């Protein structure tokens, strides 16, 4: 069982800070360049980057940024999950808000909102109140809109995630990580 | 380079093709103002794609056939466009999306890789590259839904771009997925298309035609008789021929 502190100190020391300012560094790959100005909450306090591989279950209520391979399950009851352009997630995801810029193989439940960005590729069903799909995103699955407010056209123009959460802790449990 | 070249798809046009370049959110309903989408959009921007609207009697008829269905289930085999999904979800449909042409291209690239691997192995492990075997492999990995799952299918002009064997088998599979009385909306080019286009729903009578970088070259121009044969198990077929060499067809099971 990892605590939030473990993730911050052992997994992503310097990049977490870079990410929170919206300017990731240290790579010239297109995907890395594309992650400049990532649509993620400025309060995202946990971040798993490309070099980390995780198998297991993530639970918590804070925001999380996943930009590497992940296999298992993500449950952020009140948090926002961002799958970065390098993210390869094989998991069912439950969160308040989910932003996909990489690959997700699994069901996504974004209680308030799901955003698929142009580099996003989802194979799995989507369940949410509001859905935003950018041109170029790939979706293979069923879309279930839970309320009378189907696809959010206003946010299309805004192009940023609003996700922020208060308190809580993000923990990574029963997993293994290797860099 | 094997069948990829035969189909006009070189590996060079694989995963790194211009189709993959991220594009900005430029839905048709969205005003294009000068305010840049916040840094969220990333560093790379694709060139603007040419878009035009066309009146679609086929779509009109398709919707007419679906009237009163309530919460019907729709399978969209084109790209996941926000406007198209929005259009149908707002009308109460449960929408499933699967960009089959993209899947086909990815499948071909994958097959090419497998072929190269198999070339170094013993003959008994060689991959069966006959069109029939390839069609079977492709369809095993795609369109996996229970029978009679859908009331309507948006096929777009997909069949023009698939190998005829795959197209034939796919139509057979789609027929199984469709409920009795269900409707398929398909489009066929009357002559080999010069460019590559994708389509999205603008409103109940028009489609937006988006000129895109070629994902797959057209494989075949279907004649009326061939279309009728493909959809032989459907009880009704209705076609609308447009001035843009595009024929819209509805098939009711």
Q: At what angle do helices B100-119 and B131-141 cross, to 10 degrees?
A: 120
Examine the pLDDT at B222 and tell me if it is beyond 90: yes
When the pLDDT of each residue in chain B is averaged and rounded to a whole number, the result is: 80
- What pLDDT score does B113 carry? 87
Sheet (strand B51-55) strand order:
B51-55, B206-212, B196-203
- What pLDDT score does A157 carry? 39
The answer as to whether B107 is a domain residue is no
- What pLDDT score does A176 carry? 39
Task: Please indicate whether, in this complex, the C-beta atoms of B40 and A139 are within 8 angstroms of each other.
Answer: no
Taking CA–CA distances from B75, the nearest residue in chain A reads A142
Task: Please indicate whether, in this complex, the C-beta atoms of B44 and A30 are within 8 angstroms of each other.
Answer: yes
Which residues, listed in sequence order, are joined to residue A67 by a DSSP beta bridge? none
Q: Of A104, A110, A105, whose CA–CA distance to A128 is shortest? A: A110
Stretch A17-45: mean pLDDT, rounded?
Answer: 45
Examine the pLDDT at B125 and tell me if it is beyond 90: no
- Domain extent listing, chain A: 4-155
Structural domain that includes position B92: 50-100+141-252
- What pLDDT score does B128 carry? 81
Q: Measure B144 CA to nearest chain A CA, in Å.
A: 10
pLDDT band for position A4 (cuts 50, 70, 90): very low
Examine the pLDDT at A1 and tell me if it is beyond 90: no
Residue % of chain A over a pLDDT of 70: 57
Chains A, B: CB contacts within 8 A come to 117
Strand segments, DSSP code E, in A63-137 are 64-66, 69-83, 88-100, 103-105, 108-116, 121-123, 126-133
A30 touches chain B (CB under 8 A): yes
- What pLDDT score does B249 carry? 94
- What pLDDT score does B150 carry? 95
Examine the pLDDT at A50 and tell me if it is beyond 50: yes
- What pLDDT score does A152 carry? 53
Distance CA B150, CA A160 (A): 34
Q: Write the pLDDT tens digit of every residue in A132-154.
A: 999 999 999 999 887 655 455 44
pLDDT band for position B130 (cuts 50, 70, 90): confident
**Overall pTM > 0.80:** no
A18 touches chain B (CB under 8 A): no
Tokens 């279950």, residue located = A57
B146 touches chain A (CB under 8 A): no
- What pLDDT score does A156 carry? 43
Q: Of A44, A54, A57, whose CA–CA distance to A16 is shortest? A: A44
The answer as to whether B82 is a domain residue is yes
Stretch B116-139: mean pLDDT, rounded?
Answer: 79
Give A-chain residues touching B20 at CB under 8 angstroms.
136
Selected for mutation to probe chain B from A80, A115, A135 (highest B CB count within 10 Å) is A135
**Residue A162 or B70, more confident:** B70
Selected for mutation to probe chain A from B48, B82, B100 (highest A CB count within 10 Å) is B82
**Across A103-107, B181-185, B195-199, least confident range:** B195-199
- What pLDDT score does B1 carry? 46
Which residues, listed in sequence order, are joined to residue A127 by a DSSP beta bridge? A109, A144
pLDDT band for position B122 (cuts 50, 70, 90): low
**Across A166-175, B92-101, B122-131, B168-177, least confident range:** A166-175
**Residue B176 or B123, more confident:** B176
A35 touches chain B (CB under 8 A): yes
When the pLDDT of each residue in chain A is averaged and rounded to a whole number, the result is: 71
Which residues, listed in sequence order, are joined to residue B197 by a DSSP beta bridge? B211
The answer as to whether B40 is a domain residue is no
Q: Write the pLDDT tens digit of every residue in B19-58.
A: 333 333 444 433 333 333 333 334 344 455 678 888 999 9
- What pLDDT score does A11 carry? 34
Distance CA A110, CA A88 (A): 18
The answer as to whether B133 is a domain residue is no
Q: Of B102, B226, B106, whose CA–CA distance to B171 is shortest? A: B226
The answer as to whether B70 is a domain residue is yes
Vertex A140 angle, CA A72 and B94, to 5°: 110
Distance CA B40, CA B52 (A): 27
pLDDT band for position A43 (cuts 50, 70, 90): low
**Residue B44 or B3, more confident:** B3
Q: Which pair of structure tokens corresponds to residue A74?
A: 């993500």
Distance CA B190, CA B221 (A): 6
Number of domains chain B is built from: 1
CATH number for position B167:
3.40.50.150
Stretch A71-97: mean pLDDT, rounded?
Answer: 94
Task: Please indicate whether, in this complex, the C-beta atoms of A156 and B96 are within 8 angstroms of each other.
Answer: no
Stretch A4-17: mean pLDDT, rounded?
Answer: 37
The answer as to whether B129 is a domain residue is no
- What pLDDT score does A13 carry? 35
Task: Please indicate whether, in this complex, the C-beta atoms of B27 and A153 are within 8 angstroms of each other.
Answer: yes
Examine the pLDDT at B123 and tell me if it is beyond 50: yes
**Residue B194 or B75, more confident:** B75
Stretch A81-101: mean pLDDT, rounded?
Answer: 95
Distance CA B218, CA B183 (A): 24
**Residue A113 or B127, more confident:** A113
């Amino acid at each position: 069982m990892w605590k939030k502190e473990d993730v911050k100190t052992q997994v992503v020391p310097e990049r977490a800070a870079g990410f929170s300012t919206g300017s990731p560094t240290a790579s010239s790959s297109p995907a890395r360049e594309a992650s400049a100005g990532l649509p993620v909450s400025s309060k995202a306090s946990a971040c798993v980057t490309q070099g980390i591989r995780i198998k297991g279950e993530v639970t918590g209520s804070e925001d999380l940024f996943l930009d590497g391979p992940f296999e298992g399950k993500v449950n952020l009851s009140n948090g926002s999950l961002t799958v970065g352009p390098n993210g390869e997630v094989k998991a069912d995801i439950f969160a308040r808000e989910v932003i996909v810029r990489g690959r997700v193989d699994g069901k996504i439940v974004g209680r308030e909102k799901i955003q698929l960005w142009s580099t996003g590729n989802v194979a799995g069903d989507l369940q949410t109140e509001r859905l935003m799909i950018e041109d170029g995103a790939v979706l293979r699955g069923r879309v279930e809109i839970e309320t009378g407010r189907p696809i959010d056209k206003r946010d299309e123009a805004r192009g940023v995630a609003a996700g922020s959460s208060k308190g809580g802790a993000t923990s990574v449990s029963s997993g293994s990580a290797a860099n | 380079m094997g069948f990829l070249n035969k189909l006009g798809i070189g590996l060079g046009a694989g995963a790194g093709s211009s189709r993959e370049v991220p594009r900005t959110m430029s839905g048709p309903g969205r005003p294009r103002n000068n305010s840049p989408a916040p840094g969220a959009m990333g560093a790379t921007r694709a060139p603007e794609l040419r878009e035009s609207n066309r009146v679609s009697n086929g779509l009109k008829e398709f919707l007419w056939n679906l009237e009163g269905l309530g919460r019907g289930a729709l399978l969209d085999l084109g790209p996941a466009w926000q406007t198209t999904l929005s259009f149908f979800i707002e009308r109460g449909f449960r929408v499933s999306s699967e960009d089959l042409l993209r899947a086909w291209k990815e499948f071909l690239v994958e097959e090419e890789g497998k072929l190269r691997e198999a070339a170094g192995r013993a003959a008994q492990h060689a991959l069966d590259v006959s069109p029939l075997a390839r069609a079977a492999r492709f369809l095993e990995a795609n369109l996996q839904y229970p029978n009679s799952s859908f009331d309507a299918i948006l096929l777009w002009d997909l069949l023009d771009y698939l190998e005829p064997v795959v197209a034939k088998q796919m139509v057979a599979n789609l027929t199984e997925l469709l409920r009795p009385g269900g409707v398929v909306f398909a489009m066929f080019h009357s002559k080999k298309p010069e460019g590559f286009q994708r389509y999205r729903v603008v409103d109940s009578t028009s489609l937006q035609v988006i000129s895109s970088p070629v994902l797959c070259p057209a494989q075949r121009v279907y004649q009326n008789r061939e279309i009728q044969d493909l959809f032989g198990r459907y009880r009704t077929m209705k076609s609308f021929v447009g001035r843009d060499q595009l024929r819209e067809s509805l098939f009711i099971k």
